[in-house]
Amino acid sequence: MHTALIQLINVVAILLFVVFGAALLTWVERRLLGIWQDRYGPNRVGPLGSLQIVADMIKLLMKQDWVPPFADRLVFIVAPAIAMFVVVAAFAVIPMAPGIGVIDLNIGLLFFLAMTSLGVYAVMFGAYASDNKYALLGGLRAAAQMVSYEVFMGLSLMGVVMLAGSFNLRELVLAQADGWFIVPQFVGFMIFFVAGIAESHRTPFDLPEAEHELTAGFHTEYSGMKFAMFFLGEYVSVLMTAAMITVLFLGGWLGPAWLPPLFWFLLKTTLLVLSMILIRGALPRPRYDQLMAFGWKVMLPLALINLLATGALKLM
């Protein structure tokens, strides 16, 4: 009974943390982009503008729940739900600190990879159901991009798995007690970082929604809460990628004992999120063929070489 209650609190707290964290992230990102572009960003609602998310939420909730008459109704409605579901489900396996985490799966890493792979369905369904040229082009790009970046995203993590000898994320963190995996697996870290940004399709890998060419890409026809779900899904997946990098390469909650483990986890995750926002603010979007060439001709060979080298070193 007691453990069940604790687990329930855990689940609810983490769900709220994820959703509100992602909502807050929209404000943080806009403020930071503003600061880096020598302006202020949203600073009017509430202290420093932090209540902007409330205003945005009210606005999106009040909007008409509109399904275009030419859309494939069922798929159109299901797509944003998938987008939200897969990222939140993937968050479930992330161990935040000893005793904090929704579920402790033996194959947590595989579950994470599976869930991020499912994310492509949200984009594809949304694009297909919209019956819109821009959406279709966005969906095509998203499918190609996510499929090709998935390949080496998985491969880049296998080096870590090899070193720790486990797919369990908690054990992966504990295996880093005497040295974070970012040092022996720096290449893996870089590749996963790039793939993570591509998976959450953010600039410079935001070709599926490239505003300048495709209006809004796969979510062109979406508005109101359904749009918000896509949007929030993207931000949750940013958080998720950052948390995953923390767990896999930066020693998760490990850190000097004078602060609680959860603090270390959140600190590392926050720094990673900030760096992802910086990348969004600074780097331009490549052309579509450049993106594919980069994935298949640079990242995939790098990931394979990294895997090979790690295996060889492990055997020696």
Partner 1 sequence: MLQRVLHISYLIWDYLYSNLLTLWTVASHTFSKADTVEYPDQMPYLAPRFRGRIVLTRDPSGEERCVACNLCASACPTDCIALQKTEDETGRWSAEYFRINFSRCVFCGLCEEACPTYAIQLTQDFELAEYQRQNLVYEKHHLLIDGPGKHPDYSFYELSGKAVSGRAKGAGKLEAPPVDVKSLLP
Q: Binding of partner 1 at residue 37 (CB under 8 A)?
A: yes
Q: Binding of partner 1 at residue 281 (CB under 8 A)?
A: yes
Q: Is the dihedral of CA 173, 178, 184, 186 positive or negative?
A: positive
The first and second tokens of residue 158, run together, are 């296998």
Nearer Cβ to partner 1 (182/262): 182
Give the shortest CB-205-to-partner 1 separation in angstroms. 14
Among 13, 20, 39, 297, binds partner 1 (CB under 8 A): 39
Give the shortest CB-281-to-partner 1 separation in angstroms. 5
Of 73, 89, 81, 74, nearest to 122 by C-alpha is: 81
Q: Binding of partner 1 at residue 187 (CB under 8 A)?
A: no
The first and second tokens of residue 89, run together, are 């489900």
Distance, in Å, from the CA atom of 41 to the CA atom of 70, rounded to the nearest integer, reads 37
The first and second tokens of residue 148, run together, are 């090709």
Nearer Cβ to partner 1 (6/35): 35
Among 283, 304, 305, 309, binds partner 1 (CB under 8 A): 283
Q: Binding of partner 1 at residue 278 (CB under 8 A)?
A: yes
What stretches of the chain show up as alpha helix (H) in DSSP? 2-36, 52-62, 73-91, 108-130, 133-164, 169-174, 186-199, 211-214, 224-249, 261-282, 288-293, 300-315
The first and second tokens of residue 297, run together, are 């001709």
Q: Tell me if the bond preceding 261 is cis, omega within 30° of 0.
A: no
Q: Is the dihedral of CA 202, 203, 207, 210 positive or negative?
A: positive
Distance, in Å, from the CA atom of 203 to the CA atom of 13, rounded to the nearest integer, reads 30
Maximum C-alpha span of the chain: 64
Q: Binding of partner 1 at residue 282 (CB under 8 A)?
A: yes
Give the shortest CB-241-to-partner 1 separation in angstroms. 18
String marking each residue 227-266 x if it binds partner 1 according to CB under 8 A: ----------------------------------------
Q: Is the dihedral of CA 189, 34, 47, 235 positive or negative?
A: negative
Give the shortest CB-36-to-partner 1 separation in angstroms. 5
Q: Binding of partner 1 at residue 34 (CB under 8 A)?
A: yes
Nearer Cβ to partner 1 (236/276): 276
Nearer Cβ to partner 1 (68/281): 281
Give the shortest CB-102-to-partner 1 separation in angstroms. 34
Give the shortest CB-262-to-partner 1 separation in angstroms. 27
Residues that bind partner 1 (CB under 8 A): 34-40, 278-279, 281-283
